[in-house]
Amino acid sequence: MIDLHSHTFFSDGALVPSELARRAEAKGLRALGLTDHGDLSNLDFIVPRIVAVAEKLNEVMTLEVVPGIELTHMPPAHIAEGVALARRLGARIVIVHGETIVEPVAPGTNRAAIEAGVDVLAHPGLITDEEAALAAARGVFLEITARGGHSLTNGHVARAALAAGASMVLNTDSHEPEDLIDSDFARKVVVGAGLPESAFEIMQTHATAFLLKS
């Protein structure tokens, strides 16, 4: 399984990158994105450190560690700048913390993220059909999430993505060791979102293709 969204103690995760990666490896994951929460205040601190540790871990682990960032609660007007800066600093994956219904994310975040060419729009909440169509046109992945709270709108996200032809990926948004899941549980999350179990393999194909080109 490939999981492109997780957090270490560089933001609000519980583990150092090495332990999170090892626990993911033990779960049987093939790749893990380290995507701590960031904004314009800390990108230059987090991203280079994640890039450096990912390089070292990838020398010795069977799991591929993918350095990235999750731009979180940024004003929509700052998102394009944040995406560009994160890429310059070496992030291979740039995620934006979407308009989940369980947090006061600024309206317009979903659209700004898609227009900025983010790689993954995480837990996009009650994403509109127009935004989903724009994600399809821009090649932005919409996230189906295993994380409690954020997962409340998985069914809506799946419906919107299917209607628009937008690609989906399944991520855990792990913060604690117990948040990591194996592929069997991931399939249950997919089915719980109202999708056929076969959609899990399609999402994994999307994630694999992304890693090959990033």
Using CA atoms of 5, 43, 141, 15 in order, give the dihedral in degrees to the nearest 10.
0
The CATH number of the domain holding residue 160 is 3.20.20.140
Tokens describing residue 120: 């993954």
Q: What distance in Å separates the CA atoms of residue 203 and residue 48, rounded to the nearest whole number?
A: 28
Angle at 7 between CA 88 and CA 198, to 5 degrees: 95
Q: Give the total number of structural domains in the chain.
A: 1
pLDDT in tens, 93-138: 999 999 999 999 999 999 999 999 999 999 999 999 999 999 999 9
The residue type at 100:
T
Structural domain range at position 43: 2-213
pLDDT confidence tier of residue 159, bands split at 50, 70 and 90: very high
pLDDT in tens, 10-68: 999 999 999 999 999 999 999 999 999 999 999 999 999 999 999 999 999 999 999 99
pTM: 0.97
Tokens describing residue 57: 């871990």
Tokens describing residue 56: 């070292």
Mean pLDDT, residues 141-150: 98
Helix (H, G, I), strand (E, B) or coil at 11: coil
The predicted structure's pLDDT at residue 89: 98
Q: Alpha carbon 88 to chain centroid distance? A: 19
CA-atom Rg of the chain in angstroms: 15
